Chain A
């Protein structure tokens, strides 16, 4: 790569250039670049420990890349973290569901923290409307997962970062997730997700993390 590459950020969309990530002593991946235009989707694949979650966390701003830069519409995201946080949804491995609150209360809290949204409609889209009043400690693992995903719809954000969103979902919920992703892309949003299961999406780019595994020097 030529020197001064950071001045050559793509003018539009979400991109990462020459990213490297370190976890403890280990360089997880290096020299990783990607770019997404509006409506684009990126699927991260690769074996366990290849850095899919690490890359998604970097994209969310949880941690800094060892090298490289992430950009949004031509500006490095590290320059304005609050603006980046405002434009993204990150759904990690953990559902961030409070067992003592009801389904609707949980979702209303997360939507409210982002300025409010349509909780009822989001619950209905993920088939949780019937459970709206029940406490979350009664939910199954798959239902908790659906509740976490409902946060995506309760308050809109252009960038979705989903870490193994399909874990624990039944086939109906998988259809719901795919429909939600399709709608997000149709509206010009961006979706990055990691997955081990087949999650067919039209026109999605695939990035295999093991291709960027750092070789021991």
Chain B
């Protein structure tokens, strides 16, 4: 267990010293969201109607943006090869790297979202559910994304390939994330949507590390 913590700690330390990664993700989230009022016009009713969708789609793209680097740096400098020879199973290492990735992307995204929701005139009833759905949904994005990041290792223009691979798989998370917010604004129960988001996370938690570790072994051979 301490090797797991050590790996999370190292990835967090690298991300914080780099500084750029987390700031870039949040910066992209903010800027892309701000573009919408310019594009569709500043009518509060219209913005309020589409706020949930805008926030979820831009958060999803922002998370995707940083995924390319999840294994890339370790692969390039030989760390991935060395890591694969450590006693801690590769599956657990993938989980550790996903946790670190979520802490520097998904968590800040969930924290920034209410401020942007204010800008988009999101109905007051939706705020709590917005944060809850992002907190439940973004870990799934990191986990599923890890599979894509592992599969696209070594490919030229891996970032584009990663987007093509991952965006279709992100659709369920998007549907239930936005669905939860809309339901709370409309006065319906949010339970089923959040439960389904939780189910996606519960499924991705064991399956994504298995798949990503298999892809990494392939890349290392």
In whole angstroms, how far apart are the Cα atoms of A109 and B93 in the complex? 14
Flag if B85 contacts A109 (CB, 8 Å): no
In whole angstroms, how far apart are the Cα atoms of A110 and B3 in the complex? 10
Asked, given contacts A94-B77, A112-B6, whether A60 binds B14 with beta carbons under 8 Å apart, the answer is: no
In whole angstroms, how far apart are the Cα atoms of A60 and B86 in the complex? 11
Classify the interface of chain B: helix, strand, loop or mixed: helix
- B221 interface residue per 8 A CB criterion: yes
In the complex formed, the residue of A with least CB distance to B2 is A112
- A85 interface residue per 8 A CB criterion: yes
In whole angstroms, how far apart are the Cα atoms of A110 and B79 in the complex? 10
Classify the interface of chain A: helix, strand, loop or mixed: loop
| Interface residues in chain A, defined as those with a beta carbon under 8 Å from any beta carbon in chain B | 60-63, 82, 85-86, 88, 90, 92-98, 100-101, 105, 109-110, 112-115
Flag if A88 contacts B3 (CB, 8 Å): no
Flag if A85 contacts B79 (CB, 8 Å): no
Collect the chain A residues with CB atoms within 8 Å of residue B86's CB.
85, 113-114
Flag if A95 contacts B10 (CB, 8 Å): no
Collect the chain A residues with CB atoms within 8 Å of residue B6's CB.
109, 112-113
Size of B's binding interface in residues, CB under 8 A = 23
In whole angstroms, how far apart are the Cα atoms of A115 and B13 in the complex? 20
Contacts of B1-50 to chain A: CB distance below 8 A: 2-3, 6-7, 10, 13-14, 17-18
In the complex formed, the residue of A with least CB distance to B78 is A94
Collect the chain B residues with CB atoms within 8 Å of residue A63's CB.
220-221
B8 to chain A, nearest CB (A): 11
In whole angstroms, how far apart are the Cα atoms of A86 and B89 in the complex? 11
In the complex formed, the residue of B with least CB distance to A87 is B87
Flag if B2 contacts A60 (CB, 8 Å): no
Collect the chain A residues with CB atoms within 8 Å of residue B2's CB.
112
Flag if A88 contacts B85 (CB, 8 Å): yes
Q: Find the residue from A85, A86, A113 having the highest chain B CB count within 10 A.
A: A113
The 8 Å CB contact of B17, one of A90, A93, A100, A115, is: A100
In whole angstroms, how far apart are the Cα atoms of A126 and B79 in the complex? 20
